[in-house]
């Protein structure tokens, strides 16, 4: 069986109908005798790849007597096969047996042949006309093209030569013999086919596998040995993973091959039944990473083998996505006559197939007979190895669902209270914590009468390290989905499988049930009338509690909470529909054509916006998952914010103004004295440059350079709030729960109270400031000579000898210190530094005299060139950074921040608001950005090295996509473009293969940084990982323990989970504001969006398949954009006016749909 995914992501299955055995031959002969019409080609079904051995006898017999017919899956639209080099379809033995694979021609060919057969039957009933040749008349609707005229003539000749019985689909098969001979012939052919196409390949494959018995033993134990844990979920998909397709099925597939090019999103999967499936990773529902150990990867890759074709025998395998051709793919008898070189391989028209909607019909059998298209099979011996193991795991998981369902209901009641004693608050929880507690059979326990505002880092429990049976994991996911009122599974695109859920309080569930019950009565009409009255401007409306409750549920609906809850969803949709009906009655037109669906989440959002006086609000603020303070979605978050505000107020008070509560609050949260006072060095006289945006909320890093003993000493100064805040304090607990500052385009939610930034932040040159210092040195002579060379020739780049020497000097001299600083230079923003370092007069002065007369320029000029050396060192290790970024802000118009005349920069005012959406271009390769970035990266790297060398257990940051050889070679080729901007299409393809960076307790490489280890230390005011690392290094210097080594793994789990949420909230916010910008601009410009905004849309794939084609929308890269496939588009692509990767003509693009919640933009092309 061959499976494919259609454009909507649905798994499409094509199944071959049973072909006739000897009984059907007799029935066909009887039909001919009774002058019945031969059966028509069946276009409703497709082919089935032959993977099982249970139907071999039947199947081979059917194959040897199968009909030459074309069958197209009902899920496909006019699928055609790529043309081959052979000139025609020839059924005679005298001519070449290689065929042109052309489905439309084959349809006409067979249909015409059937009409000839009917004419032959009719003529046989007439008296014979001696000496005359009978002529056959073919109806016009079944006439074939002139290209097939020769074939019809030959076919007619074959038919005429038959005495009485024949098979139009197999004209060479002699039916004039007795049934006993026909049956014997069929059996012989079946046995021969079975031996050649099944037993032979299976035996050869088995004999060629040295470790067959070892692999057999492994798969026998797999149902018990297959485990899963949270740590492996962040690993990229690799060969040997087990996956499921669709959330309603627990059927498992083995990943047999991963893509070998960034241009391909399609991997190869093997089903338990021996099916070969080509599909994108995006269709994976659940995944069991590393179920099959790495030592077996090469063996698993051999499970799919090339099929040897035999003359006139339909192949049993399927082609790859590109319909690869080679002379070796022909039957041996035809290889010598092939014009292709035996060793050459060519690809067909890939554009004929969408990688997510490739339907292989009879092309995998009859239409590929004697063709040079390579086909692939899974030998029966290979399928027998894993079939039982996969089936047993799936069955075990399904059998556990009922029991798991009951346990989850009980666990949900137990988890109403979290570790802090908080109750009735939705929160995110790890699936592995659920698995752990399900197995432990937890019971309700008493909690403190006073709920805490967060847990201490030292209380962290590591649930991710524990192994759980794969069947348990699958059964829990299946049961959680069924209990959608109690839990909401959170999507995890990076893991390709869920790792977290939101647990909903019973009180909230009960309340929502009551609201829905009222709405299902007469409540829908009541609320609809209330909404319409408000929309048409009726004043003095009193808000009922029911109205407020419904608005709250609509906000959750917009964020997808009820996506898997049909009862709530249908009730809310009924409300939306009724509001529309009432508005129409009042003469208010309703437009539905811009939404992805008629009553999509976007429809609900627009209603909420209109009810809010047409003021747009970022919908992620309504989400319980985001837990943002001040949004009325989390009482816990609001309480934490209240505490922060009180802490800020207390910290601003003078000592004599504080009461006992205020003083106790400070004592509980802050150290009384600097714990590192006697460890600090005095750097008050060293000028420090804190380069940042003028609107930066926290200043937590700075850079200095000074000379010492013939060396340049570079110091990265980092704010040190860890020397003020106690790890077990309330402020620390709240920050730990937040994990980081959350940056939305319209607002920032800080990790710490504002006064902490004032207390520990850098930049104030009036007070002594504590800093955490990472320091490295390099010889002054080496740097000065390099700068001199660059000033003579700007294209000068450091050679490998210099890079290696400086790298060695940095490693040998690097230190971690604690300092007191004060001399912070003022006014050095990114733009100011760029302007200063491009001052030609100062550059010439420095060139001539090795000094410009401006000490700030001299310091920054040296740091600029040192940072370029640091980048070259990382670049030599295959590091990559994108040179182009987009900055999106929402707020009051800021003068001189956005240059709307600059390409890629835009501004638009929000309706009924003074706020604007502003999008501007930023280059990470500009001077000041590189200066800061490279020094922060080296500080983080050297801190990781210091901790590793000293045996300090800190938190690391790692990213390793584990590219296969082909992808790694392509990646290296891509980054060798150097300073040339990489095509955005290539970047999107690359990023699709990258896993996200994660926190780890082990020093592992960071692939994109080009470093063997990496951590975070440079932003402690906005990342909690940096705080943990500072405390751990302080503990080392002070010989104490404030954060235990045992708690580190638990901290890793919590921070990774929360960071995922923060990352998603920030990403969704950016996407929303980009979409809203496009929608507002379209509304204000009469729909002519693409042309008036001068959008840059590039074609991502050939549009010959599907109703729409994906496009890349530059500047608005978060937007999911498509163009409808029209005849005009196909003609432009066919003529070469538009190519894959090329830009569209904006005058032909007209916006048809834009859904700001569902993230969909669709253009018409005409």
Answer with the residue of higher pLDDT: 522 or 946: 946
The per-residue pLDDT for range 645-695, each reduced to its tens digit, is 999 999 999 988 999 999 999 999 999 999 999 999 999 999 999 999 888
pLDDT band at 705 (very low <50, low <70, confident <90, very high): very high
Tokens of 1045: 């080594």
Residues 1019, 1149: contact at Cβ < 8 Å? Answer: no
Answer with the residue of higher pLDDT: 376 or 901: 376
**pLDDT attached to residue 365:** 59
Tokens of 367: 């239409």
CA distances from 739 to 415, 752, 965, 1069 (A): 22, 10, 36, 18
Average pLDDT estimate for 295-310: 92
Half-sphere exposure of 962 (CA within 13 A, CB side): 11
Average pLDDT estimate for 7-24: 37
Tokens of 49: 């790849």
CA distances from 515 to 326, 425, 508, 561, 616 (A): 66, 19, 11, 16, 26
pLDDT band at 177 (very low <50, low <70, confident <90, very high): confident
**pLDDT attached to residue 339:** 63
pLDDT band at 239 (very low <50, low <70, confident <90, very high): very high
Is the CATH code 3.30.43.10 the one for domain 1084-1165?
no
Q: Is the pLDDT of residue 66 over 60?
A: no
How far apart are the C-alpha atoms of 361 and 79, rounded to whole Å?
9
Distance of CA 433 to the CA centre of its chain: 25
Q: Which DSSP string corresponds to 986-1015? A: HHHHHHTTPPPPEEESS---BTTTTBS---
Q: Is the pLDDT of residue 761 over 90?
A: yes
Q: Which DSSP string corresponds to 224-281? A: HH-EE-GGGGGSPP-TT-EEEESTT----EEEEE--SSTT--EEEEEETTS-EEEEEG
The per-residue pLDDT for range 777-836, each reduced to its tens digit, is 999 999 999 999 999 998 888 999 999 999 999 999 999 999 999 999 999 999 999 999
**pLDDT attached to residue 995:** 81
pLDDT band at 128 (very low <50, low <70, confident <90, very high): very low
Residues 237, 255: contact at Cβ < 8 Å? Answer: yes
pLDDT band at 338 (very low <50, low <70, confident <90, very high): low
**pLDDT attached to residue 887:** 85
**pLDDT attached to residue 74:** 35
pLDDT band at 591 (very low <50, low <70, confident <90, very high): low
Return the top range by mean pLDDT from 420-434, 452-466, 718-732. Answer: 718-732
**pLDDT attached to residue 794:** 87
**pLDDT attached to residue 40:** 38
Return the top range by mean pLDDT from 346-360, 419-433, 823-837. Answer: 823-837
How far apart are the C-alpha atoms of 1025 and 1022, rounded to whole Å?
9
Q: Is the pLDDT of residue 51 over 90?
A: no
Q: Is the pLDDT of residue 982 over 70?
A: no
Residues 388, 273: contact at Cβ < 8 Å? Answer: no
**pLDDT attached to residue 49:** 41
Q: Is the pLDDT of residue 1135 over 50?
A: yes
How far apart are the C-alpha atoms of 598 and 591, rounded to whole Å?
9
Instruction: Work out whether strand 815-821 and strand 680-683 pair parallel, antiparallel, or are unpaired.
Output: parallel
**pLDDT attached to residue 633:** 85
Starting from the edge strand earliest in sequence, which strands make up the sheet with 500-503, in order? 427-430, 500-503, 487-490
pLDDT band at 553 (very low <50, low <70, confident <90, very high): very high
How far apart are the C-alpha atoms of 992 and 984, rounded to whole Å?
12
Beta-carbon contacts of residue 574 (< 8 Å; ≥ 6 apart): 519, 524
Tokens of 565: 């809850």
Tokens of 800: 């490998």
Starting from the edge strand earliest in sequence, which strands make up the sheet with 711-719, in order? 680-683, 815-821, 769-779, 711-719, 701-708, 688-689, 824-825
How far apart are the C-alpha atoms of 1126 and 1152, rounded to whole Å?
13
The per-residue pLDDT for range 593-626, each reduced to its tens digit, is 678 777 789 999 999 999 998 999 999 999 988 8
Q: Which DSSP string corresponds to 10-33? A: -EEEE-PPPPP-HHHHHHHHHHHH
Q: Where is average pLDDT lowest: 329-343, 438-452, 592-606, 723-737?
A: 438-452
How far apart are the C-alpha atoms of 957 and 944, rounded to whole Å?
9
Q: Where is average pLDDT lowest: 335-349, 624-638, 788-802, 1070-1084?
A: 335-349
The per-residue pLDDT for range 104-118, each reduced to its tens digit, is 554 454 455 445 544
**pLDDT attached to residue 363:** 44
pLDDT band at 904 (very low <50, low <70, confident <90, very high): low
Average pLDDT, the chain: 82
Bridge partners (DSSP) of residue 773 are 717, 817
Answer with the residue of higher pLDDT: 938 or 74: 938
Average pLDDT estimate for 21-37: 40
Q: Is the pTM of this model over 0.75?
A: yes
Q: Is the pLDDT of residue 138 over 90?
A: no
Return the top range by mean pLDDT from 22-36, 178-192, 738-752. Answer: 738-752
Q: Is the pLDDT of residue 742 over 70?
A: yes
**Quick one: what percent of the chain has pLDDT higher than 70?**
78
**pLDDT attached to residue 15:** 35
Average pLDDT estimate for 201-210: 90
Strand segments (E) across 905-1040: 906-909, 915-923, 956-958, 998-1000
Answer with the residue of higher pLDDT: 169 or 1084: 1084
């Amino acid at each position: 069986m061959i499976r494919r995914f259609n454009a909507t992501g649905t798994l499409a299955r094509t199944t071959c109908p049973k072909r006739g055995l000897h009984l059907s031959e007799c029935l066909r002969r009887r039909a001919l005798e009774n002058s019945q019409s031969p059966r028509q080609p069946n276009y409703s079904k497709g082919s089935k790849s032959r993977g099982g051995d249970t139907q071999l006898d039947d199947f081979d017999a059917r194959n040897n007597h199968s009909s030459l017919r074309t069958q197209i899956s009902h899920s496909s639209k006019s699928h055609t096969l790529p043309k081959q080099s052979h000139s025609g379809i020839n059924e005679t033995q005298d001519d070449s047996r290689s065929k042109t694979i052309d489905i439309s021609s084959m349809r006409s060919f067979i249909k015409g042949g059937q009409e000839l057969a009917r004419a032959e039957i009719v003529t046989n009933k007439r008296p014979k006309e001696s000496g005359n040749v009978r002529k056959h008349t073919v109806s016009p609707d079944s006439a074939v093209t002139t290209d097939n005229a020769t074939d019809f003539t030959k076919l007619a000749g074959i038919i005429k030569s038959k005495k009485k019985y024949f098979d139009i689909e197999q004209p060479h098969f002699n039916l004039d013999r007795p049934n006993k001979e026909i049956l014997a012939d069929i059996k012989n052919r079946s046995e021969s086919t079975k031996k050649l196409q099944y037993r032979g390949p299976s035996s050869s494959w088995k004999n060629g596998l040295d470790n067959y018995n070892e692999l057999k033993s492994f798969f026998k134990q797999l149902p018990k040995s297959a485990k899963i844990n949270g740590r492996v979920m962040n690993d990229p998909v690799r060969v040997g993973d087990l996956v499921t397709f669709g959330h309603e099925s627990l059927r498992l597939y083995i990943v047999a091959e991963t893509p070998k090019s960034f241009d391909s999103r399609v991997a190869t999967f093997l089903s338990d039944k021996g099916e070969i499936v080509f599909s994108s990773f995006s269709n994976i529902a659940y995944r069991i990473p590393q179920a099959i150990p790495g030592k077996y990867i090469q063996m698993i890759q051999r499970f799919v083998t090339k099929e040897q074709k035999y003359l006139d025998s339909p192949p049993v395998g399927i082609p790859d996505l590109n319909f690869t051709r080679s002379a070796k793919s022909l039957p041996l008898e035809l290889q010598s006559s092939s014009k292709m070189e035996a060793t050459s391989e060519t690809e067909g028209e890939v554009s004929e197939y969408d990688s997510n909607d490739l339907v292989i019909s009879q092309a995998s059998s009859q239409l590929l007979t004697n063709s040079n298209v390579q086909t692939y099979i899974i030998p029966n011996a290979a399928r027998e190895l894993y079939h039982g193991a996969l089936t047993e795991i799936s069955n075990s998981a399904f059998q556990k669902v009922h029991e798991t369902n009951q346990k989850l209901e009980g666990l949900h009641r137990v988890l109403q209270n979290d570790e802090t004693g908080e109750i009735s608050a939705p929160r995110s929880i790890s699936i592995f914590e659920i698995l752990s507690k399900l197995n432990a059979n937890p019971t309700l326990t008493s909690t403190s009468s006073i709920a805490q505002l967060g847990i201490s880092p030292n209380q962290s429990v590591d649930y991710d390290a524990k192994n759980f049976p794969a069947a348990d994991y699958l059964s829990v996911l299946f049961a959680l989905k069924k209990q959608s009122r109690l839990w909401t599974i959170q999507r995890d695109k990076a893991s390709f499988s869920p790792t977290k859920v939101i647990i909903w309080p019973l009180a909230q569930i009960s309340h929502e049930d009551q609201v829905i019950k009222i709405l299902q009565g007469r409540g829908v009409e009541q609320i609809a009338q209330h909404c319409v009255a408000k929309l048409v401007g009726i004043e003095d409306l009193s808000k009922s509690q029911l109205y407020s409750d419904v608005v709250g549920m609509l906000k959750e609906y917009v964020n997808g909470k009820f996506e898997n809850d049909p009862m709530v969803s249908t009730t809310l949709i009924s409300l939306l529909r009724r509001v529309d009906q009432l508005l129409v009655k009042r003469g208010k037109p309703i437009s539905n054509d811009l939404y992805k669906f008629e009553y999509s989440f976007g429809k609900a959002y627009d209603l909420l916006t209109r009810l809010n006086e047409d003021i747009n609000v970022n919908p992620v603020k309504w989400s319980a998952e985001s837990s943002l303070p001040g949004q009325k979605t989390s009482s816990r978050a609001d309480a934490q914010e209240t505490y922060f505000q009180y802490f800020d107020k207390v910290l601003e008070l003078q000592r004599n103004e504080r009461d006992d509560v205020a003083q106790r609050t400070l004592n509980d949260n802050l150290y009384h004295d600097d714990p590192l006072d006697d460890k600090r060095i005095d750097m008050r006289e060293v000028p420090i440059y804190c380069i940042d945006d003028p609107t930066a909320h926290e200043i937590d890093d700075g850079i200095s350079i000074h000379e010492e003993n013939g060396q340049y000493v570079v110091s990265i100064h980092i704010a040190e709030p860890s020397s003020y805040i106690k790890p077990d304090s309330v402020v620390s607990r709240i920050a730990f729960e937040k994990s980081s500052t959350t940056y939305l385009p319209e607002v920032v939610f800080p990790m710490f109270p504002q006064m902490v930034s004032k207390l520990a932040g850098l930049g104030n040159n009036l007070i002594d400031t504590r800093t955490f210092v990472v320091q490295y040195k390099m010889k002054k002579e080496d740097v000065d000579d390099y700068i001199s060379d660059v000033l003579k020739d700007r294209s000068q780049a450091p050679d490998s000898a210099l890079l290696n020497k400086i790298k060695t000097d940095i490693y040998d001299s690097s230190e971690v210190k604690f300092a007191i600083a004060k001399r912070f230079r003022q006014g050095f923003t990114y733009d100011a530094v760029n302007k200063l370092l491009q001052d030609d007069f100062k550059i010439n002065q420095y060139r001539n005299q090795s000094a410009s007369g401006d000490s700030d320029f001299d310091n920054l000029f040296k740091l600029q060139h040192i940072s370029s050396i640091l980048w070259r060192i990382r670049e030599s290790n295959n590091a990559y950074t994108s040179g182009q970024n987009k900055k999106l802000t929402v707020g009051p118009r800021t003068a001189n921040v956005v240059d709307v005349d600059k390409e890629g920069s835009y501004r638009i005012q929000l309706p009924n608001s003074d706020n604007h959406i502003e999008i501007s271009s930023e280059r990470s390769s500009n001077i000041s950005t590189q200066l800061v970035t490279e020094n922060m990266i080296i500080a983080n790297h050297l801190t990781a090295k210091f901790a590793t060398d000293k045996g300090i257990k800190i938190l690391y940051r790692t990213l390793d996509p584990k590219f296969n050889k082909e992808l790694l070679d392509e990646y290296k080729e891509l980054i060798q473009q150097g300073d040339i901007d990489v095509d955005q299409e290539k970047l999107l393809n690359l990023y699709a293969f990258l896993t996200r960076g994660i926190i780890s307790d082990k020093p592992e490489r960071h692939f994109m940084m080009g470093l063997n280890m990496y951590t975070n230390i440079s932003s402690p005011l906005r990342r909690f990982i940096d705080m943990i690392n500072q405390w751990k290094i302080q503990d080392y210097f002070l010989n104490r323990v404030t954060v235990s080594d045992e708690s580190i793994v638990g901290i890793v789990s919590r921070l990774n989970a929360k960071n995922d949420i923060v990352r998603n909230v920030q990403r969704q916010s950016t996407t929303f504001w980009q979409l809203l910008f496009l929608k507002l601009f379209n509304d204000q410009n009469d729909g002519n969006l693409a042309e008036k905004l001068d959008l840059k849309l590039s074609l991502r794939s050939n549009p010959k398949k599907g109703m729409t084609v994906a496009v890349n929308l530059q500047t608005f890269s978060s937007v999911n954009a498509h163009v409808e496939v029209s005849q005009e588009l196909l003609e432009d692509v066919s003529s070469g006016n538009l190519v894959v990767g090329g830009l569209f003509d904006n005058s032909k693009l007209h916006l048809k749909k834009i859904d700001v919640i569902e993230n969909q933009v669709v253009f018409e092309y005409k």
